[in-house]
Amino acid sequence: MDLYIKYAQAGAPTLYRSAGLEFNAKDTTRLAEQGVKFLYIAASQHALYRKLLADKLDRAFSNPEIAREQRARIVRDACSKMIEDVMLFPGDSEPIEAVADISRNFASWSNKDPEAFSYLLDMSKHDFYTATHMINVGVGCGLLGREIFPGDENMFSLLVQGGLLHDLGKRGVPEAILNKEGKLEPEEWKVIQSHPRLGYEELKANRAVSQTVLEMIRDHHERIDGNGYPFAISGDQISVAARICAIVDVFDAITAARSYRGPTPPDKTLVIMSEGLGTQFDAALFGTWKNLVQKLVHKDPARAAVTDTAKPSIASLSDVTPRSPLIPATSVSGINTSAIWQDDRRQFKRFECELPIKATFLRQLKKCPVGPGVAFVVRLLDVSRGGAQIQTAWPITLNDLLILEIPMKLGGNLTRHGRVVRVRQQADTWRAGILFVDDTKD
């Protein structure tokens, strides 16, 4: 397909290489040296591109010359990119369809080579990062689903898809809360508890997403005893798919390393989880999951090896799923985000300022008098390596994408791409928290 590049972010794309001409690793290096970060293709060729990507992944996964671990890495990297795209553009159908494609790929791989497929589940070496977690839950739901619905390839791919998307709603939860060490304040806990509902709301109108997948997104924190959230439903009211997701979700959350503790070995994780048998989890499904994990570990004990001894493992079930007083579903929408704003613990040093700077919308979720691609002036209130706060007279919406041009002391502009992660409207002005989404090395 024709490849385009853009020299100015807001400018028109220029044809870089026509369809049929070779494009290889050397070209990528050269482009990177010139500071080009993105290649563009025509929107009309998107479906073709997706197919190409799926074929390439299929070939990589089925290539016996590539080591099994490396194959798993290639697939997980591609998957992680897709999930990041869904998190950034949940309203677009393209990324969602890409996730559906990869789920179907997973189904056929697990038929062709179940053992190689099982290696996509990372049990000991990963950190708890949203995309990695969602891949693991997707793979795990597929593995458990295959035991529960043998031969049902369609169900298999739906379970994978639901697992890959289950925490989509976390995009609406500030990072500082997601990664907070120690106890959450009641307000913060409320925000966390809103994520299943946010994810469900975001996708329920999307025709590419089936009911099974939606139930996994909405109900994966419900408990068999009715003490879960967001709706505190119990027993059979929770679909089998959501119950499967609940088990794999907690399993991955405990095995993964956190900033405040190391990873937990799979066998220990299963012991911790058995505390929740019949109350938090479906006992029969948990039994099947336990057998499955034990079989995988027995076949290849290296998969369970937890090497990180510097950080002792101190996981517990309550650490992952804090018991809290039930919050009626109706109170979830009344979250006071301004309180969280104040307490937000920031990762980077913040510089306060009062500076008019140039901004350009890359994407607008709601119509605004200033269209995408048109530069306008905003007031920069503070800036750090990770993000900024701006104030503007134009309506700004959560998850809008913007380019900010920040003048540097020594001259020149620093250009940053950012996503709107918080918004507060005061009369005719909007105050927005921007999370930089491009690299922040410099």
Q: Is 359 left (phi over 0), alpha (psi -120 to 50) or beta?
A: beta
Smallest separation (angstroms) from Fe ion to the CB of 329: 16
Smallest separation (angstroms) from Fe ion to the CB of 220: 6
381 and 353 Cβ atoms separated by less than 8 Å: yes
C-beta of 172 vs 418, nearer to Fe ion: 172
Stretch that binds Fe ion, among 178-186, 249-257, 303-311, 401-409 (CB under 5 A): 249-257
Smallest separation (angstroms) from Fe ion to the CB of 426: 32
Smallest separation (angstroms) from Fe ion to the CB of 285: 17
Judged by CB under 5 A, which of 139, 143, 161, 167 binds Fe ion?
Answer: 167
C-beta of 176 vs 362, nearer to Fe ion: 176
Report how many residues bind Fe ion under the rule CB under 5 A.
Answer: 2
Smallest separation (angstroms) from Fe ion to the CB of 163: 9
C-beta of 120 vs 378, nearer to Fe ion: 120
Smallest separation (angstroms) from Fe ion to the CB of 217: 9
C-beta of 219 vs 249, nearer to Fe ion: 249
C-beta of 133 vs 146, nearer to Fe ion: 133
Stretch that binds Fe ion, among 51-59, 92-100, 159-167, 288-296 (CB under 5 A): 159-167
Smallest separation (angstroms) from Fe ion to the CB of 221: 6
State yes or no: residue 222 binds Fe ion (CB under 5 A). Answer: no
State yes or no: residue 122 binds Fe ion (CB under 5 A). Answer: no
Judged by CB under 5 A, which of 101, 122, 249, 282 binds Fe ion?
Answer: 249
Stretch that binds Fe ion, among 18-26, 95-103, 245-253, 415-423 (CB under 5 A): 245-253
Stretch that binds Fe ion, among 65-73, 162-170, 319-327, 376-384 (CB under 5 A): 162-170
Stretch that binds Fe ion, among 59-67, 71-79, 165-173, 294-302 (CB under 5 A): 165-173
C-beta of 166 vs 431, nearer to Fe ion: 166
Binding site for Fe ion (CB under 5 A): 167, 249
